[in-house]
Amino acid sequence: MSIKRTITTGTAIAATAALGVGLAVAPATAKQGTAPLAGVLVDDNKFDSNGKDYDVVTEAVLAVLATNPDSAVGVLTQGNVRLTAFVPQDRAFVNLVEAVTGTKPANEQAAFETIAAAFPIETIEQILLYHVVPGKPITAKMAAASNGAKLKTAEGKRLTVVVKKGNVFLKDRASLTKNAKVVQANINKGNRQIAHGINGVLLPFNPAG
């Protein structure tokens, strides 16, 4: 089953409001706050030309939850649950589509629609959970001191941390794509849920290309 972008901006805003998530980042002085990642990653739920934000992954999460409201990806709205998420920026999805198809999508929306058509919703859910590491939040400083560490993801498989010249990478299982680099660190720091923006989409399998 493929998915389509049918969730409107109003629906997304209403959904996040109902879940008690806002757009404000918790103060830096807060210790183990409960602001969920959904509240700091969701903007106005519109595709745009900014390749460094998180519109595509937001759409993917919303699509999964629309199909399966009980999906484990809903944990991103539950700020009391400790986790670390490595979140692909929009440009990462554009690059993924180009790597798989050989053709660069015209924009973020085209990238999302290509992925939605290529993968069933259950596979998209699997990919999203592969980016989530349950447990004590991992800060950028901790990651930089953890070369070779293997992180068990919510999907079940493990990610390997690779540190080179001070840069943190995550080793990808898929030979088609390059290892993802952390390019935006400590999103939502000080809370039980923390995220790091990465420049690649991690895949727990090798897609047919």
Residue 200 has a pLDDT of 96
Token digits of residue 108? 């973020």
Residue 100 has a pLDDT of 87
- In this predicted structure, the answer to whether residue 9 has a pLDDT above a threshold of 80 is no
The pTM (predicted TM-score) of the whole model is 0.84
Residue 172 has a pLDDT of 81
At position 174, the amino acid (one-letter code) is A
Query: Which residues, other chains included, contact 204 with Cβ-Cβ below 8 Å and sequence gap of 6+?
Result: 126, 127, 130, 153, 155, 157, 173, 174
CA 107 to chain centre: 18
Residue 30 has a pLDDT of 45
CA distances from 159 to 150, 151, 168, 171, 203 (A): 5, 5, 12, 6, 10
Band (110; pLDDT cuts 50, 70, 90): very high
Q: What is the pLDDT of residues 140-158, one digit of tens each?
A: 999 999 999 999 999 999 9
Domains of the chain: 9-198 (2.30.180.10)
Band (173; pLDDT cuts 50, 70, 90): confident
User: Among 5-19, 45-59, 89-103, 191-205, whose mean pLDDT is lowest?
Assistant: 5-19
Long-range contact set of residues 93-96: C-beta below 8 Å, sequence gap at least 24: 93/56, 93/57, 93/201, 94/51, 95/177, 95/199, 95/200, 95/201, 96/177, 96/200, 96/201
Token digits of residue 50? 């900014």
User: Among 34-38, 122-126, 175-179, whose mean pLDDT is lowest?
Assistant: 175-179
Band (180; pLDDT cuts 50, 70, 90): very high
